[in-house]
Amino acid sequence: MSTLELGPLLRHVGTTTATIWVETSEACTVEVLGASAPTFQVCGQHYALVVVDGLEPGTCRPYEVRLDGELVWPLEGTGTPPSYLRTRTEVEDTGRLRFVFGSCRYPPTDDAELEASLGIDALDAFSVRLMEEVEATDDPSTVLPDALCLLGDQVYADEITPRTEQWIRSHRDPDDESGPGMEIADFGEYAHLYSESWTDREMRWLLSTVPTAMIFDDHDVRDDWNTSQAWRDEMASKPWWPQRIRAGLSSYWVYQHLGNLDPATRDADPLYRKVLEADGDVYDLLADFAGRADAEVGEPTGVRWSYRWDLGRTRLLMVDSRCARVLNENDRLMINDHSFAWIEENATPDAGEEVDHLLLGSSIPWLMPPAVSHVQSLDEWAAARGSKLAETVRQAVDLEHWPAFRASFDRLADLVRGVASGPDAPATVCVLSGDVHHSYAAEVRYPSPTRSRVYQLTCSPVRNGVPWFMEYVFALGWWQGLTSALARVAKAAGIGDLPMSWSPIGGPWFGNAVSTLEVNGRAARIRVERSGTRGGLEAVAELPLT
């Protein structure tokens, strides 16, 4: 009898469709609300995506999961409410929507000292509160968020837990110089990593109930992933890297990417069709695809991991800012031309199309503290002129955000200004980000006023830490005196002026946090909450955006 190993995860949800992702112990048929799908096999693991169709828009109902007819979800004895499936309302609806977002979630461990240093998981705390709210109401649709946006570092392939270290030692020698040591080596180890991250009671229920959009960041593969061509050359010299990058991208495709796509886009994907049609294990198919995706980094075109969700009159574009990079000596871009053109096309409403709020999900922030932005652009300028020190510093202190790809930074600024200034401009354009292990909200001002309010909204970590001294570094980064001095240095180096200015409206805040962006028609506000020492969430800010 097949058992439910991981999931269910509620992924893309439309007005009449919903996608449920599961991992099972054996090949079987997975059933949800009368819809079914067979599993496919990757390295001995079994997965399925069930698309429930023909649903009524704007409805909310509990659901169960069956494997070959046997009920496997909800799990007995967990004390959690039922898992709910809530469809979107029609696009004309301008009502209330809530987007919960954050990034950088280190998994639960059995190490007391490590647990104490990491603190309370903000998403677990959010889940506990949401369970209580669901159980206290007769209409769960009134309290359930519309989307959970996980903005990177869903797993840590290079910083594993003590429990995973023991597990690795039980089946391979981490001291073998031909291997990655105490890092994830292959698809099976990635599967273990996702299981460790997503099976605690609170996270499992949350993912089963709130539609979840995901995008990778560096630790999903390895720290500083695709920072520069020098980084790629260094990794290519390691004998274990080809297997690692193929496993990392293959597992991302299975565990995260597939569920991001709407059914029509996913069904049109040639790789997905091959996987469903294959007889037996499909890892070779995925590894070949992953190898090509990695090899295409630096090319003007490549695999597009970015995607779009429309939720009423709010549009979410989740942007790949890791694997779409161009890192050639004379052409350094955060996103290649092919993928950027897709972003530009989808960020701009079609004629007659009304978008009240445009959300751009980027794992790494577009807007850093201004002084930090100048430092990153200056480091890029120096590294491009052959400075080995600049390259060393770039990798040592993570100078790899949008300002370190200045051409792409400016192109995104132009895109946002164009959308925000158009005759059909949304009320807000918000860039949602994580990565930097602190949270803040900043408002953008262009030389010419825009119709839209423009913001950088950063929330990180969900559960991780930051060295104490970085709190002072980030605070100093907003100091106008330092910003002005570095701007003069950048101008002397021939780096163009910044196309706009920005200033904080809240933060920086440190500690494990989760943020909620709430829209109601053309009004919007953000709430930032941190996990307290006793396990609950404490609001640190609630800021109007319109």
* pLDDT tens figures, 404-414: 999 999 999 99
Name which of 429, 407, 409 is nearest 418 in CA terms: 429
- In this prediction, residues 527-534 reach a mean pLDDT of 88
Q: Is the peptide bond before 38 cis (omega within 30 degrees of 0)?
A: no
DSSP 8-state class, residue 187: H
pLDDT tens, residue by residue, 331-352 = 899 999 999 999 999 998 876 7
> What pLDDT is attached to residue 163?
94
pLDDT tens, residue by residue, 444-471 = 999 999 999 999 999 999 999 888 888 8
**CATH number belonging to domain 4-544:** 3.60.21.70
Complete DSSP assignment for 203-229: HHHHHHHS-EEE---GGGT-TTTTS-H
- 3-state class (DSSP) for residue 22: strand
pLDDT tens, residue by residue, 17-52 = 999 999 999 999 999 999 999 999 999 999 999 999
DSSP 8-state class, residue 281: B
Higher pLDDT, 440 or 94: 440
> Residue 371: which pLDDT band, with cuts at 50, 70 and 90?
very high
Residue 288: partners with Cβ closer than 8 Å, 6 or more residues away? none
> Residue 91: which pLDDT band, with cuts at 50, 70 and 90?
low
- 3-state class (DSSP) for residue 31: strand
Number of neighbouring beta carbons within 10 Å of residue 310:
17
Number of neighbouring beta carbons within 10 Å of residue 277:
9
Tokens of 104: 């950088």
CA atoms within 13 A on the CB side of 484: 3
Tokens of 466: 């930051």
> Residue 227: which pLDDT band, with cuts at 50, 70 and 90?
very high
In angstroms, rounded to a whole number, what is the distance separating the alpha carbons of residues 164 and 196? 8
With a threshold of 0.75, does the pTM exceed it?
yes
> What pLDDT is attached to residue 470?
80
Higher pLDDT, 177 or 181: 181
> What pLDDT is attached to residue 256?
98
> What pLDDT is attached to residue 177?
86
pLDDT tens, residue by residue, 248-269 = 999 999 999 999 999 999 999 9
> What pLDDT is attached to residue 349?
80
> What pLDDT is attached to residue 31?
98
Strand 331-333 versus strand 326-328 pairing type: antiparallel
pLDDT tens, residue by residue, 115-127 = 989 999 999 999 9
In angstroms, rounded to a whole number, what is the distance separating the alpha carbons of residues 199 and 38? 23
> What pLDDT is attached to residue 92?
55
Buried b (16+ CB within 10 A) or exposed e, 536-545: ebeebbebeb
Provide the percentage of residues in the chain whose pLDDT is more than 90. Answer: 86
pLDDT tens, residue by residue, 423-432 = 899 999 999 9
> What pLDDT is attached to residue 474?
85
In angstroms, rounded to a whole number, what is the distance separating the alpha carbons of residues 127 and 132? 9
> What pLDDT is attached to residue 23?
98
In angstroms, rounded to a whole number, what is the distance separating the alpha carbons of residues 327 and 348? 27
In angstroms, rounded to a whole number, what is the distance separating the alpha carbons of residues 385 and 458? 32
Report the phi/psi class of residue 500: left, alpha or beta, with left for phi > 0 and alpha for psi in -120 to 50.
Answer: beta
> What pLDDT is attached to residue 72?
97
In angstroms, rounded to a whole number, what is the distance separating the alpha carbons of residues 417 and 413? 6
**In the predicted model, what is the mean pLDDT of the chain?**
94
pLDDT tens, residue by residue, 188-208 = 999 999 999 999 999 999 999
> What pLDDT is attached to residue 315?
95
CA atoms within 13 A on the CB side of 478: 16
